[in-house]
Structures are given as structure tokens and as C-alpha cells.
Amino acid sequence: MSQEKIVINEDASGEWTARVYDGTMRVFLKQHIKSKRAAWAAVRKFQKEQQEMIENGELLELI
């Protein structure tokens, strides 16, 4: 994905939120997670799945 923005932050309760936005700021991933490390792992997994879908022709790559 090009021009994606990754946001990982912690809320007041200590729960982490991972978000992946595209160039138009649409949310592609929003996941509530218990740790910052797990949030980054969720983002990497999401990116890998998206890349596999692009390579298999199941998803058009965003320009």
C-alpha cells in the first residue's frame, strides 16, 4: 500500500489501538490490543495479508 499511515496509541485504560489508514484517511485496520508490541504485530500481519492479496490479484494496489 502506498501512502499508508500507521497510528498506534494507548488510551487512558492502558489498551492499545492500532490503525492503518490509506492515502484518503480511510481506516483499513482498527484493532484494540493489550500491548504495544502486539499492536505492531497486528499491523505487520495486516500488511503481509494485503501484499499477498495484491500478488494473487485479489486486491488492487492503491496508488
Query: Residue 13: which CATH number?
Result: 3.30.160.160
One-character DSSP codes across 36-48: HHHHHHHHHHHHH
Residue 23: inside a domain: yes
Which range of residues forms the domain containing residue 29?
5-55
Asked whether residue 46 is domain-assigned, the answer is yes
State the chain's mean pLDDT as an integer. Answer: 83
pLDDT-derived band at 48, boundaries 50, 70, 90? very high
Q: Answer with the residue of higher pLDDT: 21 or 3.
A: 21
pLDDT tens track for 1-19: 457 888 899 988 888 988 8
Q: For residue 51, is it within any domain?
A: yes
> Within a domain: residue 39?
yes
Query: How much is the pLDDT for 62?
Result: 56
C-alpha cell at 10: 494507548
Please give the grid coordinates belonging to residue 7: 497510528
The whole-angstrom separation of Cα 37 and Cα 54 is 26
The structural domain count of the chain equals 1
Q: Would 60 be classed as within a structural domain?
A: no
Its pTM surpasses 0.75: no
